[in-house]
Structure 1
């Protein structure tokens, strides 16, 4: 299991994928934004084990899936 990073790293990666904020990503996935923030703070940098709670486990799985997609690269002229 790979760590997804701290809040700033996750926010940056989500922005590269077209989300304006962590809250926007959470709403698009049907999660409560406070739960997503807590999951990132508690579990974002851990590699030793998975979260025990079902909601947190689902949030982290959704984040990993989103962050595994290639970011959209904008062309600058």
Structure 2
């Protein structure tokens, strides 16, 4: 399955009544870290995050929005 794009992530969060900033605060991530991670990794199918926090953020986001998170393992 293709990794969700930035727009798909934003839309999925919006349909759940939240946004990226609120989602980050709820999970005690720094908003700037989440924002930068989404900017760098959303929609990419060539590679997955190799840093621990980036990998965790993308995995948590994928789980929250209901995407298959096999692409971030």
TM range (shorter): 0.7 to 0.9
User: For 1:43-58, what aligned pairs fall within 5 Å after superposition?
Assistant: 43-58=41-56
After TM superposition, the score normalised by the length of structure 1 is: 0.77
- Local SS of the residue matching 1:31: coil
User: Within 2, Cα distance between the matches of 1:29 and 1:50?
Assistant: 21
- Aligned counterpart for 1:33 among listed residues 31, 34, 41: 31
CA-CA distance at 1:9 after TM superposition = 2.8
User: Within 1, Cα distance between the matches of 2:8 and 2:34?
Assistant: 14
Count of residue pairs brought into register by the alignment = 67
2:15 is aligned with 1:16: yes
Counterpart position of 1:3: 3
Counterpart position of 1:74: none
CA-CA distance at 1:23 after TM superposition = 0.4
Larger radius of gyration: 1
CA-CA distance at 1:35 after TM superposition = 0.7
- Cα distance per residue 1:2-54 (max 9 Å; x no partner): 31112x332121010121x2100001111111011111110001012211110
Q: CA RMSD of the aligned region, Å?
A: 1.5
